[in-house]
């Protein structure tokens, strides 16, 4: 996934962050890989659920919520999620 630079300078941390990760429908192991990212970064307060699958099964959405403590942690999460295999976009 191509990385976009987010302007988070106005954010007041910690924040309750909610996002959707769009992944190739053929990609396996995504749920465990997402969980490992948060655990590796020491973020214990997060939730993850599988969302909708596209009509042809080409894409799957994952709903993610997490308590992010600072801007560095936010960037680390976004970068790591964007590098997962099969990721198309992080909304």
CATH no. of 16-90: 3.30.70.260
The torsion of the CA quartet 77, 44, 9, 17, rounded to 10 degrees, works out to 90
Low-confidence ranges of the chain (pLDDT < 70): 1-6
Q: In angstroms, what CA-CA distances link 72 with 54, 77, 83? A: 33, 9, 17
Please tell me the chain's helix, strand, coil percentages from 3-state DSSP, rounded to the nearest 5.
Answer: 25, 35, 40
Q: Where are the alpha helices (DSSP H) in the chain?
A: 30-40, 71-82
pLDDT at position 80: 98
CA distance 9 to 1: 23
């Amino acid at each position: 996934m191509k990385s976009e630079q987010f302007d988070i300078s106005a954010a007041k941390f910690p924040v309750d962050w909610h996002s959707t990760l769009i992944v190739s429908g053929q990609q396996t192991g995504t749920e465990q890989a997402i969980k490992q990212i948060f655990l590796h970064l020491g973020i214990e307060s997060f939730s993850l659920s599988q969302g909708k699958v596209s009509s042809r099964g080409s894409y799957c959405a994952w709903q993610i919520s997490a308590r992010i403590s600072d801007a560095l942690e936010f960037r680390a999460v976004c970068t790591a999620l964007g590098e997962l295999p099969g990721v198309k976009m992080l909304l």
